[in-house]
Homo-oligomer: A and B are copies of this chain.
Amino acid sequence: MSTIGKALSLLDSASRLDKEAGLTDIARLCGLDKATARRFLVELEKHGFVEQDPETRKYRIGSAPVRLARIREARYPFLRVAVPFIKALAEASTETVHLSEFSGRRLSTIHVEDSRRAHRVNVEVGTLLPLHATASGLAYLAFCPPDEIDAALSRPLERITEYTIVEPAMVRGLLDETVARGFSINHQGIEAGVVSTAAPIRAPGGHPIGCVAIAAPIVRADQAEVMKFGAQVAAAARAITEKYYGSEKPMGTSTQIRRTG
């Protein structure tokens, strides 16, 4: 891997920590030498991507990403466009709704509207979503080109709960169902007692950029309710796509992506 890649991986790893970390911890976490980690951190600091607390000497994410994010959001206001729809969906479904975005080879949560109910599913912003074990991941993958699906399923799939589906062939079955339905269903694959549905937001080329998902406690998610949630997420994803990419809809909704059986 290139130096740049390693440095950005370090940044990525450091960002996943719950709190600020010291040099030794960061180096250990990334499997890098202390000297190397430090050189990266110094270089990242020069450009504002990390900053070091002068007192504790610990490192944290800097403000350069904030500046870049602002510029991107100003030009590509995905969140600004999507959030009203997420809010409306949370209102309509009375369940927790979240929005994810594919970035840096990972699908991560970028916005959450919590259900107002006392018994609800809680999702944290920033959470990474495994592609095989979440509704969002399945919805994303289902509309990816075959080589990306192959790549995603070629690695060993983690069994997160006793319900997690880890056999590639079975996951492919779920993807086919997802394409046929227009939304995915994840039955307790990421957390016991939680059922989710999700639908992708797709760029004009057809490739998904992220997903809308509803997560509900299993006691409130019978067959009929899940289908209702599915229809709602699919509608929300369509609405966001339309607003985000203008009048132009995803091209070749049925012909663009060919999946192998």
Contacts and interface: CB of A to CB of B under 8 A. Distances in A.
A44 interface: yes
Interface in A20-64: 21-22, 25, 39-40, 43-44, 46-49, 54-56, 60-64
Interface of A: 2-5, 7-9, 11-12, 15, 19, 21-22, 25, 39-40, 43-44, 46-49, 54-56, 60-76, 78-79, 101-106, 108, 110, 125-126, 203-205, 207, 251-252, 255, 257, 259
- What is the total number of copies of this protein in its complex? 2
A52 to B, nearest CB: 11
A70 B255 CA distance: 32
A25 B257 contact: yes
A205 B54 contact: yes
Contact of A79 (B4, B12, B66, B251): B66
Contacts of A54: 203, 205, 207
B3 A66 contact: no
